[in-house]
Amino acid sequence: MRADKSSFWHIGVIGGSGLAAGIELEDAQEIAVSSAFGEPSGPVVTGRIEGVRFTFIARHGAGHAIPPSAVNYRANIDVLARCGVTDVLALSAIGSLREEMAPGHMVMVDQFIDRTHGRESSFFGTGMVAHVSLADPTCPRLSALAGEAARLAGATVHPSGCYVAIEGPQFSTRAESVMYRAWGADVIGMTGMPEARLAREAELPYAMLGMVTDYDAWREDEAGVEVSHVLEVMHANARVARQSLRLLAATLPPERTHSPIDHALEHALVTAPEARDSVLVARLDAVAGRVLDTQG
């Protein structure tokens, strides 16, 4: 069972494996947390920044060993829920599909187009069906707070942007890049989905601080994306991201007030109690226990 959230912030951070190591966490602990949905990307690192609890998980595992399509997104979100996080901030490298979103800039993603396939995109299924609203897939409150922290850290921050999630691991073709621009996408990446979907199902307000590393492939007069250049820009962006987290901790409101996302499952479960799969229901204890327990 997962109880209603307290008034204290506990920020779950999904990002690179070196991120937590670069931040001076108070009372830092590395903990292996089991998930009912398989193996997560690795252990979590939990501690405090400016008195605020932060729990980190490296999306691609130690040494970036897990490709985007093989990340167990369900287990990662489930583990964060089991750790009692109240909100989730994703830190992600992204390509830009807009001239004004230059490499080195930060983008607070607020919409998604999902082009991934074959990934487990829901905690629910046969025997326990749920439909959550995903019209606005990120949390405006956490996005605004994280964006302001990044700005204070010296970054150029774009307050909104539509992220197209591709399967990868290859970067997109020029034709695809031009098509995504025509669709209205602003940035591109490989990990935002189903991560954002699953966070909503777990009633966790989710924000993404996207770190622009390149211009993807839509610029006809430039070479395509090279991973060496991406890694170079990522290294510089990581320093700003770490400073942003410290500033976020320092500028969070003293009390965490209720978010509508905290009760995203309130009217989302549609399977009648007598028709529910008891095995699946048991696996959902961290994600949906708050609602399942009240419905008997």
Amino acid identity of 180?
Y
- pLDDT, mean over the chain: 92
141 exposure class (CB count in 10 Å sphere: 0-12, 13-18, 19+): middle
Helix (H, G, I), strand (E, B) or coil at 203: coil
Fold of 89-294: Rossmann fold (3.40.50)
Contact (Cβ atoms closer than 8 angstroms) between residue 265 and residue 132 = yes
Mean pLDDT calculated for residue range 71-90: 98
Is there a catalytic annotation at residue 262? no
pLDDT at 16 over 80: no
Q: Which of 78, 87, 214, 262 is catalytic?
A: 214
Q: Which of 78, 87, 114, 216 is catalytic?
A: 216
* pLDDT value at residue 24: 76
Among residues of the chain, what percentage have pLDDT more than 90?
80
Mean pLDDT calculated for residue range 15-26: 72
* pLDDT value at residue 221: 74
Mean pLDDT calculated for residue range 51-78: 95
* pLDDT value at residue 5: 74
Range with lowest mean pLDDT among 71-75, 124-128, 158-162, 239-243: 239-243
* pLDDT value at residue 137: 98
Is there a catalytic annotation at residue 214? yes
What is the C-alpha to C-alpha distance for residues 130 and 123, in angstroms, rounded to an integer?
Answer: 9
Taking the complete model, does pTM exceed 0.85, yes or no? yes
β-bridge mates for residue 31, sequence order: 44
pLDDT digits (tens, 9 = 90+) for 215-226: 988 887 766 556
Residues 6+ apart with CB under 8 A from 102: 96, 156, 212
| Residue 265 CA neighbour count, 13 Å, CB half | 29
Measured CA distances, 116 to 28, 148, 164 (Å): 35, 30, 9
241 vs 179: which has the higher pLDDT: 179
pLDDT confidence bin for 128, thresholds 50/70/90: very high
Backbone φ/ψ region at 13: left (φ over 0), alpha (ψ -120 to 50), beta = beta
What is the C-alpha to C-alpha distance for residues 157 and 32, in angstroms, rounded to an integer?
Answer: 34
Mean pLDDT calculated for residue range 207-235: 77
238 vs 176: which has the higher pLDDT: 176
Q: How many C-beta atoms surround the C-beta of residue 104 within 10 A?
A: 14
pLDDT confidence bin for 23, thresholds 50/70/90: confident
pLDDT at 161 over 60: yes
